[in-house]
Amino acid sequence: MKGSPVDAAREGAYMKGLRLMVALFSLALLGAAFAPSAKADAWDKKTIVTFSAPVQTPGVHQPGYEVLPAGTYVFKILRAAGNRHVVRIFNEDETQVLATVLALPNTRLKPADQTVINFREVPAGEAPAMRAWFYPGEQWGHEFVYPKKKATELAKASAQPVLEMEIPAEAAKPEEAEIVSELERAPVTAVEPSGKEVAEAEVVTPPPAKVEVAQAELPKTASPLPLIGLLGLLALGGAAGLRVAERRVR
């Protein structure tokens, strides 16, 4: 026996509602699948590094921080334009900029799954001098540029050329915006162990990875996977409900 026109209309409306619900869940699932992953700090490469001994850094420093004491620090990319990368080094709670450093892109033959910091050989009695910093999983890293006088010392001690530049006035503060512009405009060359200056393009090569910082961690980031899984379950549930309703109508 056929149902009344009212029943048929109700069934039709019910079916339309179910189909709309499944369509909406499917669209939400598709959107979540193509949304960028939630890596809030990936753009600035924020990395927390713990040094077990003092280390030397180039760039513009807070007074007394040309050598960082053993401890925990935060590294971030402040700006990356073309072949100029500006790196900032903060104290552990990020309340003070300890150094603003110019770096040039450098490459590794094989990306590492942890933070890698390479060091240069130094004259006897000095703290190791940072050469390059590599973010986990990336082949491109950041090779630091040293002041001319220090670069000459490091080149002789390590028997390798070192990137060099004229550092802004000693009175400058690393947190000042003007410092970033000055670092980006400053001419960069390199000095060989003999003291001869060469073009920086002849120097930026994969550094040896014989000294690495293992005690480094990245900020915890959220993942869209739980949301995608939930939406998938909802979509499957909506589809199952639609099949049941169709069987009832038949």
What pLDDT, in 10s, does the model give residues 118-160?
899 898 899 999 999 988 888 788 999 999 999 999 999 999 9
DSSP 193: T
Spans in the chain with pLDDT lower than 50: 1-2, 18, 20-40, 206-212, 214, 221-236, 239-240, 242, 244-246, 249
CA distance 55 to 225: 39
Q: Both tokens of residue 140?
A: 């491109």
pLDDT at 3: 54
Per-residue pLDDT, 30: 34
pLDDT of residue 210: 45
pLDDT for residue 192: 94
Q: pTM for the complete prediction? A: 0.66
Print burial letters for 67-76: b (CB count within 10 Å at least 16), e (below 16): ebeeeebbbb
pLDDT for position 15: 56
Under 8 Å CB-to-CB from 211, ≥6 apart: which residues? 117, 118, 119, 128
Is 180:103 a contact under the CB 8 Å cutoff?
no
- How high is the pLDDT of residue 99? 94
CB 26 within 8 A of CB 18: no
Sign of CA dihedral 8, 14, 16, 22: negative
pLDDT for 153 equals: 94
Q: What pLDDT shows up at residue 190?
A: 93
- The amino acid sitting at 5 is P
Q: Which residue has the tokens 């590794």?
A: 108
| Strand segments (E) across the chain | 47-51, 55-56, 60-61, 67-68, 71-81, 84-91, 97-107, 116-120, 129-134, 140-144, 146-147, 162-165, 189-191, 197-199, 216-217
The set of residues, in sequence order, having a beta carbon less than 8 Å from that of 8 and lying 6+ positions away, is none
Phi, psi of 199, deg, nearest 5? -70, 145
